[in-house]
Structure 1
Amino acid sequence: MDSAPQNHASGDPDLPPVTGYRLLLPSEWAQVPLRHGTEEAVRRILDDAFTRLPDDAPTDRIGPYKRELERRFRAAVTNAGKTNALDLYLPVKPMDGAILGASILVTESLVPRPAGRRTAETEPTEVAVQLLSRDGVEDADLSSGQIDGALAVRREHVAGASAKKGADLASRRVEYMVSVPGDPDRWFVAAFSTVGGGNPQDELAEALVEWFDAVMANFRWSRG
């Protein structure tokens, strides 16, 4: 699945400029672009979901089910759109007979740094950590490394349930912030969230976190 945030200059003069990113996801997951083509993608996903309903399902239940499915799906897309994100990825087909309670939200963050500190080697990591810490999350696990040649900072934590935010259950969250090559003030952010099997620290949640780490290990930039 490809998506192009914006055109960026490349940090290596021998490489073409970065034009987007690529996440390799199973066919059970669907991409919803949040800046262009959102309604077309939502309609296509819902229509596909409706075609998988049993032909012998009671007609008096099909209508309410479709309406509730569409309401919940559109609510998730609307909430994601409020964050000025680029893309939302959701599992829309059953895996082992069940739809996973998980999502991936992709955003961009522009974090200008003081001109006098642009050459400091530790500055990019400091900026990433500051950005990840500014939302008040406590007791988070932080680590850093590289993904496709770019600095990456990873944060993992458990977010409690919040009726005000539409979160009925606590969730396990893993965020990767990756510095865009050639544009040190711009960061790519992929935020994964799952409720697991109802407990954000159960075996399913653990397995899904490991899966998302593998997805990000295979993250690649798209270049012009």
Structure 2
Amino acid sequence: MATAETRQAPNGFNLVPPPGWDVIPLRIDTKEATDRIVRKAVAQLPLGFPKDDIPKARLKLEQELKKVARRARAKGGMTLYLPTERFHGVALPVSMVASEPIEIPRVRPNSGPEAVLAALASITPGAEVRELDDTAALRSSRDVPADATQGIDIPHRRVEYFVPIPDSDPDRYLAFSFSALIAPGSDPAFYDTLVELFDAVMSTFRWAYT
């Protein structure tokens, strides 16, 4: 049986996105992934869509994907998850980003990640501790208002998971952030359902060791 001295930190993770979602790596092969999504979207245009409008639609989608990927990468994102197919005829205004590992000093010598999570929970509104693949993780949820000074054009619901990487030295953490754009006058129950979808995705989280 492995001991604390012989255990190794995981070298990755696995998630199961919902059907109709695509994954865009943000450090390598980003263009290949966005090109694939654009080709699939163009192939799924409805019958009767004007052929002369296809180049314009393709360009608009390419520009939008580049903008979303660029913003996610600028915030430390390493993987972007997006719905690229409609859900019951509705285009979901959501995205999910997995960020690169970050290092955080321990609260006290030999205190471990649990103390860090507890400290963060005490100062983070809407925070609670959950478990992902036998690892304690911090989950928080809040509504973010539009703020042009912060580059936030549209208000959105944000849910985040903060997960310590087991047996990492120094202690490192992953962050998973979900955003759902809030349209004026929309039903809050709709966004509650989208958050439940994200929580369901996070329940599939598993550490990878190969």
Whether these two folds match at TM > 0.5 is: yes
Q: Which one of the candidate residues 17, 32, 39 is aligned to 2:24?
A: 32
Q: 1:186 corresponds to which residue?
A: 172
Q: CA deviation at 1:34?
A: 0.8
Say which is worse superposed, 82-91 or 157-166, in terms of deviation: 157-166
How far apart, CA to CA, are the structure 1 residues paired with 2:26 and 2:128? Answer: 29
How far apart, CA to CA, are the structure 2 residues paired with 1:188 and 1:56? Answer: 45
TM-score by length of 1: 0.81
Q: 1:109 corresponds to which residue?
A: 102
Q: Which one of the candidate residues 174, 178, 181 is aligned to 2:159?
A: 174
Give deviations 1:155-196, integer Å, cap 9, x for gaps: 100011134555432100100001111016111111011025
Q: 1:81 corresponds to which residue?
A: 73
1:215 and 2:208 aligned: no
How far apart, CA to CA, are the structure 2 residues paired with 1:11 and 1:52? Answer: 52
Gapped regions of structure 1 (runs ≥ 5) = 1-9, 134-139
Give deviations 1:51-108, integer Å, cap 9, x for gaps: 1113421233322222212211111011111112110101011111122000111012
TM-score by length of 2: 0.86
How far apart, CA to CA, are the structure 1 residues paired with 2:197 and 2:104? Answer: 29
Helix, strand or coil at the partner of 1:18: coil
Question: Aligned in 2, Cα 1:194/1:113: closer, same or farther, shift over 3 Å?
Answer: same
How far apart, CA to CA, are the structure 2 residues paired with 1:191 and 1:19? Answer: 20
Q: CA deviation at 1:218?
A: 2.3
Q: CA deviation at 1:220?
A: 1.0
RMSD of Structure 2 on Structure 1 (CA): 2.6
1:144 and 2:129 aligned: yes
How far apart, CA to CA, are the structure 1 residues paired with 2:29 and 2:119? Answer: 32
What one-letter code is carried by the residue in structure 1 that aligns with 2:105? P
